[in-house]
Structure 1
């Protein structure tokens, strides 16, 4: 294995993924991509999230101006599943309320797929976490919408923010629910010679 450190590029606009990478001391540069997100016919949620992560990483690699041997791109996608249905980003207040009512008092699954590519090879890992919500009242759901937090979150809540008050229990990786399972991402970074735990300025 080469001891030359590789430069990481993040093919994601998610502020939460960026913060998680910074949390474990990873230096990275964002790369802009445009990947359509639409479920294909007969595609399972697992297949969908895995395909999107791989497609984002590979699109990020193609977007590099002069991709070289010491460059690696990370792509990721996170989604929630309840009763086999995707928990998508809410399309308005009524949709957000519908999502949160469906999760109230029940457990749902959050899946994140993480893909790393160096142009020659690509690795993809899929992580699942069970999240149990307490019973939510209609007034809480309405108040939560007006905080603005649910708007851009899959499932209409953010566990790392105000939505933490809804979560009774999680089984599995917490960082996975935020958007990047660090316990799975770190070994992948090591495999591709991307250092973490770097000193902070």
Structure 2
């Protein structure tokens, strides 16, 4: 199966996520970022449906805002499902601390949805990975919060930075945890494109 950079040598990432951009660039893809703004409210309850719907909504917003484009356009959304609730970005340090202490010694499901306009078709799906946290004490969490890396991150951590020190192990695609299910996108494009 051809790799993603072969199928998508250049694309527009309709996101301001530095992590997603960096991951695509690591794969050898030339990335132009152009964030889009769309309604992020939802009534669905299944996490995979929510992130796929939000990613598709972002793609629709991008296509409406930019009617003339030729490069593939990729939109993503990531949420965490933990103890029967969906968790996005924390509002402040206090909420981030509470989230990270709750995660201590436990597993959470990370869902990343994506929508891609490619070859005049829209592809959309979601992937799940399991993230197991180490046992953390309050000082571990405070030290991490001091880095400010948690700001703007679903679940208040980033595995591609110092947040990896909080993690025991991951089951699934690391890209899904970062917010971009590379393995799934590559497989689906390889099968259908």
Offset of residue 29 of structure 1:
2.0
Name the residue aligned to 2:106.
106
The answer to whether the aligner puts 1:131 opposite 2:131 as a matched pair is yes
Supply the distance in 1 between the matched residues of 2:60 and 2:137 (Cα, whole angstroms). Answer: 43
Name the residue aligned to 2:4.
none
Supply the distance in 1 between the matched residues of 2:93 and 2:35 (Cα, whole angstroms). Answer: 29
Report which structure shows greater RCO (CA 8 Å, sep ≥6): 1
Offset of residue 62 of structure 1:
2.2
Determine if contact 2:9/2:29 at 8 Å carries over to the other structure: no
Offset of residue 71 of structure 1:
3.2
Gaps of 5+ in 1: 194-201
Name the residue aligned to 1:58.
60
The size of the alignment, in residue pairs, is: 187
Supply the distance in 2 between the matched residues of 1:22 and 1:189 (Cα, whole angstroms). Answer: 18
Counterpart selection for 2:19 from 16, 21, 45: 16
Counterpart selection for 1:25 from 20, 25, 28: 28
Offset of residue 121 of structure 1:
3.0
Supply the distance in 1 between the matched residues of 2:139 and 2:41 (Cα, whole angstroms). Answer: 32
Name the residue aligned to 1:155.
155
Larger CA deviation: 112-121 vs 17-26: 112-121
Supply the distance in 2 between the matched residues of 1:30 and 1:188 (Cα, whole angstroms). Answer: 23
Supply the distance in 2 between the matched residues of 1:37 and 1:60 (Cα, whole angstroms). Answer: 14
* 1:129-157 residue CA offsets vs partner (Å, 9 max, x unmatched): 00111110011111211111111111011
* 1:74-97 residue CA offsets vs partner (Å, 9 max, x unmatched): 111111110121122111121011
Find the residue that maps to 2:150 and give its secondary structure.
Answer: helix
Length-normalised TM-score, structure 2: 0.87
Name the residue aligned to 1:43.
45
Determine if contact 1:6/1:71 at 8 Å carries over to the other structure: no
Supply the distance in 2 between the matched residues of 1:119 and 1:107 (Cα, whole angstroms). Answer: 38
Supply the distance in 1 between the matched residues of 2:154 and 2:101 (Cα, whole angstroms). Answer: 14
Gaps of 5+ in 2: 1-6
Determine if contact 1:134/1:166 at 8 Å carries over to the other structure: yes
Name the residue aligned to 2:83.
83
